[in-house]
Amino acid sequence: GPPDRHVAGGAFSADAGLIAAGAGDAIVVWSIETARPVARMRLPEPQLYVRLAFAADGKTLVSDCREDPLIRVWDVKTGKQVR
């Protein structure tokens, strides 16, 4: 993996209940209320830059990464890629 685990990008949900951050080859979503992770998404390779955005309902997350040619859509509840 990469020598450092700097945060490569982040986003808040519209209701400010969740925060997502990308680091290395993972995106992690935390509950702001409990400070616990609620989902972990695995990217195909480590990323230097990750743009993240929640859907308005907070149920899906979109990732656009520098080293990944795909824009990915994730289910926040399961952590699975849906598109």
Q: Each residue of 5-23: pLDDT tens digit?
A: 567 889 999 998 999 999 8
Q: How many CA atoms lie within 13 A of 53 on its CB side?
A: 7
**Distance (Å, whole) CA 38 – CA 73:** 16
**Distance (Å, whole) CA 29 – CA 49:** 17
Q: At which residue do the structure tokens 């409990």 appear?
A: 34
Q: What is the pLDDT of residues 20-52, one digit of tens each?
A: 999 889 999 999 999 999 999 999 999 888 999
DSSP-derived letter for residue 47 is E
pLDDT value at residue 9:
85
- pTM, entire model: 0.85
